[in-house]
Structures are given as structure tokens and as C-alpha cells.
Structure 1
């Protein structure tokens, strides 16, 4: 059994930051669960161009608000507490923070190792252990 307290992650290598986001990597590939699990904060007003071409991601909003735009179709969906979106087609997208910081709970498959960073097209490269 694994017990993870987010307070124990803050300030460690499992707290990862980039322009417009902070991610707390609660479960990683080395934890052996078959997926990684993160809490991510998107500040109000942030705009992120992302494309997880090597990963599938499911995201559940537990606080705040914003929107997600499907780059292929131009469709925009509002995100707020209680909304889940799943990038089941490796969807290129724009994630925008709204008027309050978004607190998102995310699962990635395949799991990330924790060393991934966004490259120029907004994706994570696959990193082997």
C-alpha cells in the first residue's frame, strides 16, 4: 500500500514547475501502478499549448475554472469544479486558466518518470528509467 501526502512532495524533485503550471507528481512510473498521478495547478490567465502525442491523459478539475480548446476542431469547452476531460486521441489542445487558479488531478498512461519536460510542440518525450 502506498500513502502519499502532497505536503511531503512540495519542495522535492516531485514538485515540477514550468511556465504557467506547477505539478505535484504523486505517483510515477517507478511506483509500479501502470499510470502516473499528479495534482497540477494552472494559474488564472495562463495559456498552455499542449500535445501529449506519446501519452493519454485524463484530467479532473477539483477547483477553479478555465477552458480547453481542441486545436484540430476549434471547439472550446469550459472547465470548472466537477468537469473531467480525457485526451483519448492524443489531442493537441490549448489549456487556458480562467478567473481563478485551476486545481487539476491528472492521470497519464504510459506513466511519466518525473523527468519529462514539455518540448517545443508541447508534448512529453518518452523517458526510459
Structure 2
């Protein structure tokens, strides 16, 4: 059994990772080393930002629990409004732009398969490496 507390076990530790450009903060609750076969992040997307993401090596499901924004898929230019209570799944390794509206931050629960090691940062194409461990 594992119990991880965001405030006690994650905030202020190596499991709290901030984007170099300041667009987001990823609080990594479950990682590859936890042995679940997936990882779970509690992520804050900063208000008024746009982030280019392309998980070529991972599938991701994202559940919005606070705020509003949108996802634009690059291949077809389709824009998907996202608000609290919505989940979206990047089931085709979709290259996309994630935008948080200027009115406030978005808070997302993100599940990755394969799991993240916790050391990942997006490269110049918005990609996480396949495996850092």
C-alpha cells in the first residue's frame, strides 16, 4: 500500500518540477519507481499561458479539476474547450497546444503510460524522453 500526500511528500521536493518557461508546475505523485505501470501528476497550468506538447513516447489522460482553457490539436487545428470536470486523452500521441485562459490557473490530474521517472522536462518539440531510468 502506498499513500502519498501532496503537501507532505511532494511540494518542495524533487517531485515538484517547474517548466523552464514558468508555464506549469508538475507535482509528481506516483512515478515509475512506485511500480504501478503508470504515473500520476497533479499539474498547475499557469493562467494566460500556451504550452506546446507532443508526447511521442507516452500516452496521457488529463482530468481538469480547476480552471478553464483549451487544447488545440496541431494535425487538424481543432480546438477543444476544457473546464473543470472534463477529461481528455491523447490516445494517438497527439501533438497539441495547451492553453489556460487568462482568468486563472488550470489544475489537472495527469496519468502517463509508460510511467514517468520524475526527471522529465519537455524538449524543444514538447516531447518527454522515452525513459530516463
Give the shorter-chain TM-score range.
over 0.9
Name the TM-score, length of structure 1 as normaliser: 0.98
Asked whether 1:123 is paired with 2:124, we answer no
Q: Residues of 1 paired with 2:104 and 2:60: CA distance?
A: 22
Deviation at 1:116, TM superposition (A): 1.1
* Corresponding residue for residue 26 of structure 1: 29
Counterpart mapping for 1:1-129 below 5 A: 1-8=1-8, 9-18=10-19, 19=21, 20-98=23-101, 99-129=103-133
Aligned residues: 129
Distance in 1, matches of 2:68 and 2:46, equals 10
Structure 2: segments with no counterpart, 5+ residues: none
SS in 2 for 1:7: helix
CA RMSD of aligned residues (A): 0.7
Cα distance in structure 1, aligned partners of 2:127 and 2:93? 10
Runs of 4+ in 1 over 3 A off after TM superposition: none
Secondary structure class of the residue paired with 1:30: helix
Residues 116 and 126 of structure 1 are in contact (CA less than 8 Å); yes or no, is this contact kept in structure 2?
no
Extract unaligned runs of 5+ from structure 1: none
CA distance in 2, matches of 1:119, 1:84: 25
